[in-house]
Structure 1
């Protein structure tokens, strides 16, 4: 910062709720004498149906933690409610800010928000600065094959991604000087979305993210390559909610994993690359959030209304296929589901019941704490055969998958207590057990 630096800038937080390795906050603090750390409780998010109890509870905790981290540095979080563009412009005017910094994002809503912000701020003589390496490790538009705007297949993308230099990890600012700007109180979960959150939600916020990251690096990461599909072992990082809300940065995770080294770290980095891959697909094809990325199904979708009872049974974890039901019940209780469970549940709905992927994707978004539009929608399309899978006709047999990834049935018994007394792998075929089990017959003929 020099003597001719602007006196005030705004750091508009969206999906980057952290003080460490935050390009938005870093640039805002370095570029001006005073900074307004701003989060708008956006009425547009609620109107679009994305404000749901689980993410609202997690978000409220994230905001409280972020405010605490800013106060430790002499600052605070400014939290108005309303239209994000109108409120950002109002706060910038009240503070006399000349620049607004924000993280780049890939959804259609984020693109419209950026366009509106740029126009409204520009009309008032203010500048919007977008930071594209805040949400993903590699910016979504940075890599593309010759003559195309994005990679449609993961393997060649990963090769390019792996050789792309990443920006360095940024320190948290030592001090944040905030001008006198009015703010509403930090929101409670009930003020963000009506309804009761799942009882087993993870703790939100950057502090919780860093505790989980340290625990992950101190053991489970080493065995990730061998154990990441172990349903009962719960051997994944569980960092996805914190990545979705930006409580930890993808750039920092890649750097730390590469320094850690080993097969587990390499496998983990590959998963982070998948996340970037989906973001670059959605950035280029924003309608893939609600339309088939590729129209290549040979079997038409069945009428959801005619299958209402089956869809309700799937949502409730009462399909009669224990591993599917265990995954769906974990989702309802924790607002999170093991990735292997997500693939099985999605494949069962779309390829066994032939229900449109949008039905399942919406249910997941209603409950997932890590309900990221790019990853959720494009993983659903991968499972349904309409996305980027190079073998769109593949069907994951839930019985064979259960025997492989839950061989003793521990995952099923954890989440389907009706089957707690079933021995060994017999838990995966309960229709062969006693008829008095309080468990439904399979919705379809078992494999």
Structure 2
């Protein structure tokens, strides 16, 4: 049998190509469909140029769906994902279950000591970092300066809920498609319950007393839900029971909202003239408190990248995680998208960068909100838990979503406030008893 030179060369090239292809590692990254994560996917050419041996398969999901899928996968040790986008609620709980890999050594250039202390601490268990923040946030009030002026009002240094209600009424012009306030109504422990848990904290209430008894039958929760439903039904947009962060962001950017109380990370999107019709008419203030109160209920949240212990491609996953949360990535976003659009709330150096401070009118308010968020003592009352806009126990994910469904139904007009609170009390008592609280 005669083998030609051309055939030998061709066979060698095929073998070489096969070797290259087999050397490439594909990792699967589960992430949320928020703007900063979508932007990261647009910038992947930088990662591939530096790491041609790694390919990233993206699974991009709506917030509630993401939480459900990654929780199911990691609890069942399914191993579908190599990198998870999870919150500072999950990180400590999952780390204690040995479900996550420690991420203490991400390279000399990573500058771990530059991470904001309050954010890094929420991701640390027994002295080890189990996830790294892609962006972090607190909550604040964002508002239309032109509509407030037209209403004859001036934003107080520390607004309260009475002022918010009055301003929402005066800023609403339904004939023009402008609503005084936009708030989360979509059911979910990290959707409407993130807002309402923060709100009840600002009203002086809590989820549980020191004996783990649910508090939905207390006056603080009644005041919270009554105010919330009044704002949503009288001055909010139609279909508010389906609106979460992304839906309200779109409403504000298109000029439909007078005020919006939500995550500080939204500030760059509503201040960007390329994305927001009202970019030059936006003001920022602390999240509201009750009249005479001091607790603004502002939360602390971070979307973080973590590696599940089930991953068989941990080295490649770690390389990606280091790139996506590094100082170099911050510089990349600044160069490609503008410094105002870099992921906020993660690094101390960002808030000392004069270029950023010059173009980010929201920077000071964001940092102040993050640093003042008191997750160790979220309520003015003594409580047996930590958290802020969530209760840091494993059972909260299911209970919070079930309660959120009751309150979302009330926004949709399917039940009254009293009915929703009674149902929330009953189901929370049942589930906490089933879980064995107090422990």
Q: TM-score, structure 2 length as denominator?
A: 0.26
Of Structure 1 and Structure 2, which has the larger fraction of its residues in strand?
2
Q: Give the number of the structure with larger relative contact order, counting CA–CA contacts within 8 Å between residues 6 or more apart.
A: 2
Q: TM-score, structure 1 length as denominator?
A: 0.26
